[in-house]
Structure 1
Amino acid sequence: MIRFISKCILVIFSMCSQLQAQIKQPKYEVGAGVGAFVYQGDLAPSRFGSWKTIRPGFVLHGSRLINKTMALRLQLSVASLHGDDAKYNNPAYRQQRNFNFRTSLVELSPQFVWSPLGWADAGKQLSPYVVGGAALSLVRIRRDASAFNAAYFEAEPELFSQLSTDLSTRTPRLMPAVPVGAGMRYSISPTLVLNAEASYRFLFTDYLDGFSRAANPDRKDHYYSITVGLIYRFGRKNSWDCPPVR
């Protein structure tokens, strides 16, 4: 019996040793990516926004691995957003309303990253992950209603007062947001990882596009991004091994 228990202990230690070798990971990651940022709001024809007004952007991020499935990440996104009624002819009123906006966007976001299958080592195929956190964005919104066709909307007098209210409302300069997303990682070497990520930002304002009452005050504005990038891993390696047996 004692010999059997001893063999079991040796097997367990052997398995733990192999596992430790497999899951040693660098502590830190830095990455960069490029992609598309899509506005989703009153000046887009669907709830999912429109690819007719996509804008380019880039992201920079740094991560600290907490354990074999969790990490803390700080991400900086720099992009712009755009919406334009004139891009769409259905419904017909959009080209008569002719609202449009542009804004620059600088977003800083601390996030948690969870990779349920662990941080992919070189040779693994794909490692999915989900991400969520908080964000604060600096924006400079430039709205334009100069092409509004007042004659077309004569039968809707309330629209004129609503537009007047919108144009007299100051647009935000700082916007809090809740980003949530998912992505895939693929390790091409022990230090380099390719990743692709989609991230959706929930906002608390309907003035991302500069219009609310004259558009759709019952629905907040949002935006999302789809990016691809490269991650570099470095630093003294973590070792999440089996606990010692005393």
Structure 2
Amino acid sequence: MSHTLKAQNWMAEVSAGIASYNGDLTEQAISIKQIRPALGLGIRYNANYLFNFRAGFSYARLGANDRNNKDPELKLRNLNFQTNLFEFHAAAELNLMDPELFYGYPYLFAGAGLFYFNPYTRDDQGEKRFLQPLGTEGQGLSAYPDRKKYSLVQLCLPLGGGWRIRLKNNMEIMYELGYRVLITDYLDDVSRVYPSMELLAGERGDVAAALSYRKQGVPFMEEGEKRGNSKVKDSYFFSSIKLAVNIDGFKKIKNYRRH
């Protein structure tokens, strides 16, 4: 590897782009109505011409609304959510071309991470209501011992790829598309079936029942009615532009000052 590339062992990265959610409140995997802003910071170590290792922090807003669906049943369900999402992940990158020979080349990545989310909606008076404490599908109610409250910190598996271009000896620009495989189906607070509205109101209050069942003009039929699809987990993705700067020079200056 050339001296220039050897010197670029450590890179600091900043990214800006969009994020989108896919789950029980969407008919399509990608919809312009679900796109929200996303930002990120990270650090990368270029181990050799083939592999890089990185860690990063990302912020995104996610959300969806049944009113944007075309299916009459989904529109009638009338559920919606929003959440701020904070993610930390570590991943390995595979360069598909030799960076020493090409100024622009594709790469793939895979890793693991954790993310924090807290889905909320607004009631009929416009007041913000966080959904997890309400147990909208009967989580935590005495009548449903098998329905546990979901954790607001969950595992994600980042997968994706991008295209990297070296601008100067110490700078790079990238376009990256990343998909997150999740093990939870409650990113949107929707997964299984409706609980008894009487039991939910009795243990969690009328607000919980009103936000669990939001069909307008249609009386609640019975507990066990389908609310979501637990067979398919939720997911989200990032599409972003990233700028990377070599920081080996800063480390050398810092070490020089120490001596």
Shift of 1:166: 6.2
Task: For structure 1, list consecutive stretches of 5 or more residues without a partner in the other structure.
Answer: 1-18, 148-161, 237-246
Q: Cα offset for 1:163?
A: 6.1
- Who is 2:223 aligned against? none
Q: Shift of residue 145 of structure 1? A: 8.0
User: Letter of the aligned partner of 1:27 in structure 2?
Assistant: N
The partner residue of 2:62 within 75, 81, 86 is 81
Matches within 5 A, 1:18-97: 20-21=2-3, 23-46=5-28, 48-88=29-69, 90-97=70-77
Whether the aligned pair in 2 keeps the contact of 1:120 and 1:185 (CA below 8 Å) is no
How many Å apart are 1:50 and its aligned residue?
A: 2.0
1:185 maps to 2:167: no
Give the number of aligned pairs.
Answer: 200
Instruction: State the partner residue of 2:130.
Output: none
Partner of 1:241: none
Q: Taking structure 1 as reference, are residues 163 and 78 closer, same or farther at Cα in structure 2, changes over 3 Å only?
A: closer
Whole-angstrom distance in 1 between the partners of 2:19 and 2:93: 21
Write the distance in 2 (CA, Å) between the matches of 1:164 and 1:65: 46
For 1:107, the aligned partner's letter is E
Task: Name the CA distance, whole Å, in 2 between partners of 1:86 and 1:61.
Answer: 36
**How far apart are the structure 2 equivalents of 1:23 and 1:193?**
12
- TM norm structure 1: 0.74
Larger of the two Rg values belongs to structure: 1
5 Å-filtered alignment, 1:214-229, equals 214-229=227-242
Give the equivalent residue in structure 2 for 1:131.
Answer: 109
Gap regions ≥5 residues in structure 2: 126-134, 142-147, 193-226, 250-259
Per the TM alignment, residue 20 of structure 1 is displaced from its structure 2 partner at its CA by 3.9
> 2-side partners of 1:198 and 1:205: how far apart?
21
Letter in 2 for 1:100: N
Counterpart CA distance in 1 for 2:158 and 2:137 is 32
Identical amino acids, percent of aligned pairs: 25
The answer as to whether partners of 2:86 and 2:116 remain within 8 angstroms in 1 is yes
Partner SS, residue 217 of structure 1: coil
Secondary structure of the structure 2 residue equivalent to 1:43: coil
What amino acid maps onto 2:115 in structure 1? Answer: S
Amino acid at match of 1:129: Y
How far apart in 1 are the matches of 2:19 and 2:157? 16
1:52 is paired with a residue of what secondary structure? helix
Q: Deviations over 1:77-126 (max 9, x none)?
A: 011110111112x21122211111111111000110111213367xx442
TM-score of the aligned structures, taking structure 2 as reference length: 0.71
How far, CA to CA, are the matches of 1:233 and 1:120 in structure 2? 16
Query: Residue 155 of structure 1 aligns with which residue?
Result: none
Say whether 1:98 aligns with 2:78. Answer: yes
Cα separation, partners in 2 of 1:136 and 1:82, compared to 1, 3 Å: same
Distance 2:140 2:74 in 1: 18
CA distance in 2, matches of 1:167, 1:108: 29
Cα distance between partner residues in 2 of 1:174 and 1:188: 38
